[in-house]
């Protein structure tokens, strides 16, 4: 056994460190089908103190460390870039530390999932507002903070999950442990406010994609779940993209307090119905775009008024309301009452065996996504030769387009776009040409969308490096980012390779 292995075993015990080949391969991928990096060790720490000791050792040995929440990211963010290094699996750290019912703040360990957290809060009539990412059944709270995650429900009302952050406990890359917000004052007995005691250093670690520190403890605002809710689903007219833009825009301009508002484009509805993904809509005569909303209220009068406002917006835009029950096609009711927000993050995933998305998640203004969608159609035509090559091997052509378009805070939407393709292993045979083509096409479509000026929030391996390679950051901005990284992580230990660090 190596000396490093012995040191790690001494910190976490033999049970929670492994260099077994099968274990290392199990941690070598996230959910995308093409990126892989095999770690040398996998370690499961139990607290910040153990992480601190691990980071001090790896700085001495010059071994990179990759924090991993639940591995739900799609861009190679929680596995090594290249082979080697240590994956720091945070799933042991999933305890609820304290619920401050008086101040409506919960403190948890960063490895806890959004679903476990919200299941606990539901016993008290509370929730986290933004329910984290669309993969929130398993996605960790620490990962959500690292990505400014949205998509798991409540984003139109609450925005990204980092909006409700109060304080963080962070282990810096060199091993020091700090707390932010109100807890920067060592006399503060409990977390109560993010802002003050100097600069908002918590923001430095929000959306950092794991390059500035390891999140170990997270304090979040929580909210009483209102007693009343309504949810309606509408079939949009023929030009559904334009109609959806008008609806989103009117919701914001009229100041309607909506919990969720989501557009599912025509192609997604059509292909999804064809392959049995949307049984609620099998009986729709016209497989067009669908729009649904969810609203919450504290009284029946308030609920009725909000419903009236939203219905007027949709009906004015020639939308056709589906029935009130789930069986009638009311996707919104399923989405809200049965935690559907965590069950349709990417609708074309697995539509046929091996069919997986190579997409990207970004924020963009409401009025910009129609032009991006048209450009994606153009991109698809320009790459028809590569698409047809995959068709010949796999028997199914990759699909280019967008997942659900979700209203978030401000006049912005969460826009998931890309193409769905196949992994390299098909019918017992490995096709290296498919892997190479997938990566080439993925980078191409990401560059194309980047040049529309979107804001990426999940960066991982591929997006963080591509931003540098295509010169999307100004030289001054990138040098500033680099100087922060070097100050906090002089040996470039943490998430080595992201942003080309």
Q: What's this model's pTM, rounded to 2 decimal places?
A: 0.94
Sheet containing 320-321: which strands, arranged edge to edge? 320-321, 228-235, 290-297, 260-264, 399-407, 412-422, 355-365, 455-456
Q: Which helix or strand (DSSP H or E) is residue 59 part of?
A: helix 48-61
Query: For residue 346, what pLDDT is reported?
Result: 62
Please state which CATH class domain 228-342 belongs to: alpha beta
DSSP 413-477: EEEEEEEEEE-SEETTEE-HHHHHHHHHHHHHHHHHHHTTT-EE---HHHHHHHHHHTT-S-HHH
Query: For residue 166, what pLDDT is reported?
Result: 98
Tell me the two tokens of residue 55.
């980071």
Query: For residue 348, what pLDDT is reported?
Result: 65
Please give the Cα distance from 448 to 460 (Å, whole number). Answer: 18
Print the SS3 string covering 102-142.
Answer: CCCEEEEECCCEHHHHHHHHHCCCEECCCCCECCCCCCEHH
Please give the Cα distance from 445 to 401 (Å, whole number). Answer: 11
Q: Which of 162, 133, 154 is nearest to 344 (CA)?
A: 133
Contact 290, 269 (CB under 8 A): yes
Query: For residue 360, what pLDDT is reported?
Result: 82
Q: What is the pLDDT of residues 348-377, one digit of tens each?
A: 666 777 888 898 889 999 999 999 999 999
Partner residues linked to 228 by β-bridges: 297
Q: What fold characterizes domain 3-91? A: 3.30.43
Task: State the chain's maximal CA–CA distance in angstroms.
Answer: 71
Partner residues linked to 221 by β-bridges: 105
Query: For residue 31, what pLDDT is reported?
Result: 84
Q: Which CATH architecture has domain 96-224?
A: 2-Layer Sandwich (3.30)
Q: Left if phi > 0, otherwise alpha if psi is -120 to 50, otherwise beta: which for 350? A: left
Rounded-to-5 percentages of helix, strand, coil across the chain: 40, 20, 40
Give the chain's residues under pLDDT 70.
1, 345-350
């Amino acid at each position: 056994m190596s000396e490093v292995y012995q040191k790690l075993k001494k910190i976490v015990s033999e049970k929670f460190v492994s260099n077994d080949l099968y274990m290392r391969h199990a941690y070598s991928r996230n959910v995308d089908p093409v990126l892989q990096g095999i770690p040398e060790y996998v370690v499961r720490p139990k607290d910040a103190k153990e992480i601190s000791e691990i980071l001090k050792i790896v700085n001495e040995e010059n071994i990179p460390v990759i924090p991993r929440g639940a591995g739900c990211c799609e861009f190679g963010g929680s596995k090594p870039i290249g082979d080697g290094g240590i994956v720091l699996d945070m799933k042991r750290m999933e305890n609820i530390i304290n619920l401050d019912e008086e101040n409506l703040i919960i403190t948890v360990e960063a490895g806890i999932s959004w679903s476990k957290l919200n299941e606990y809060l539901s016993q008290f009539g509370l929730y986290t507002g933004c329910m984290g990412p669309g993969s929130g059944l398993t996605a960790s709270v620490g990962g959500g903070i690292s990505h400014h995650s949205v998509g798991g429900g409540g984003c139109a009302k609450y925005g990204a999950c980092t909006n409700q952050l109060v304080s963080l406990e962070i282990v810096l890359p060199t091993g020091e442990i700090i707390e932010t917000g109100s807890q920067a004052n060592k006399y503060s007995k409990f977390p109560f406010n993010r802002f003050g005691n100097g600069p908002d250093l918590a923001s430095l670690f929000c959306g950092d994609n794991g390059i500035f520190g390891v999140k170990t403890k997270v304090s979040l605002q929580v909210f009483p779940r209102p007693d009343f809710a309504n949810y309606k689903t509408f079939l949009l007219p023929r030009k559904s993209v334009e109609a959806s833009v008008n609806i989103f825009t009117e919701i914001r301009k009229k100041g309607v307090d909506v919990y969720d508002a989501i557009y599912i484009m025509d192609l997604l509805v059509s292909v999804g119905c064809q392959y049995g993904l949307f049984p609620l809509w099998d009986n729709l005569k016209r497989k067009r775009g669908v729009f649904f909303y969810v609203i919450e209220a504290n009284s029946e009068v308030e609920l009725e008024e909000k419903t009236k406002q939203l219905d007027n917006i949709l009906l004015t835009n020639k939308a056709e309301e589906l029935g009130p029950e789930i069986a009638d096609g009311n996707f919104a009711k399923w989405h809200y009452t049965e935690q559907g927000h965590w069950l349709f993050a990417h609708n074309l995933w697995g539509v046929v065996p091996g069919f997986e998305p190579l997409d990207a998640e970004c924020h963009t203004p409401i009025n910009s996504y129609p032009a991006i969608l048209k450009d994606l159609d153009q991109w698809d035509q320009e790459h028809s030769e590569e698409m047809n090559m995959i068709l010949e091997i796999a028997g199914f052509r990759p699909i280019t387009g967008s997942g659900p378009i979700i209203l978030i805070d401000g006049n912005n939407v969460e826009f998931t776009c890309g193409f769905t393709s196949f992994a390299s292993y098909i019918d017992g045979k490995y096709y290296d040409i498919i892997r190479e083509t997938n990566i080439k096409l993925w980078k191409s479509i990401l560059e194309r969308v980047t040049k529309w000026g979107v804001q990426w929030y999940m960066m991982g391996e591929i997006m963080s490096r591509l931003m540098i390679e295509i010169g999307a950051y100004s030289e001054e901005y990138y040098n500033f980012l680099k100087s922060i990284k070097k100050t906090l992580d002089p040996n470039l230990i943490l998430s080595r390779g992201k942003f080309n660090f």
